[in-house]
Amino acid sequence: MNCPSCGASNRPNAQFCRSCGKALPVRPPADVPAAAPSNYPPAGVPYAAGPWQPTKDKSIAYILEILLLGLGWIYAGETGTGIAILVGWIVVGLMIGIPVDLATGGLGCLCTVPLAIVAYALSLTRLSKYMNARPRVFR
């Protein structure tokens, strides 16, 4: 490699000129193989532009979760989480919540309705984060 400043000849992998001491331009190694083809889309290409299209619709998961807590998780592929939420909702919400509401003449609703709202909000928020972290699965 010749120095661009003084023209002196240097070793091919030299970083500085042996004559004037200035930094030599950096060359990439010639023996670097080309990148192997990838299953991922090229940078800057939206996921929906190729064969890697997402397979599940987020809106279906949201609708199922609103209809009955846990069903959205089961649709999203988290069967264990979905069943745990579903069983918890049936046990706490239906088997305990409704009898307490009836036994207190409706005053139990002051506790159970806000808890149900919080349960739905938390479940939908977590489900949304779960699906947004997997753009190759959910559109």
Question: Digits of tens for pLDDT over the chain (139 positions)?
Answer: 788 888 888 888 888 888 888 888 876 655 555 665 665 556 665 555 455 566 888 999 999 999 989 999 999 989 999 999 999 888 887 788 888 888 888 888 888 888 889 989 999 999 999 999 988 888 8
Rounded distance, CA 37 to CA 42, Å?
10
109-132 vs 58-67: helix crossing angle, rounded to 10: 160
> What is the per-residue pLDDT for 32?
56
pLDDT at 95: 84
The model's pTM: 0.56
Would you mind telling me the total number of residues written for the chain in this entry?
139
pLDDT score of 33: 59
Amino acid 53: pLDDT = 62
Q: Which two tokens stand for residue 48?
A: 């929906």
Rounded-to-integer distance, Cα 100 and Cα 107, Å: 9
pLDDT value of position 82? 93
| 48-65-97 Cα angle (round to 5) | 170
HEC string for 23-90: ECCCCCCCCCCCCCCCCCCCCCCCHHHCCCCCCECHHHHHHHHHHCCCHHHHHHCCHHHHHHHHHHHH
User: In this structure, are residues 22 and 3 in contact, taking their beta carbons and an 8 Å threshold?
Assistant: yes
pLDDT for 110 equals 84
- What confidence score (pLDDT) does residue 46 get? 55
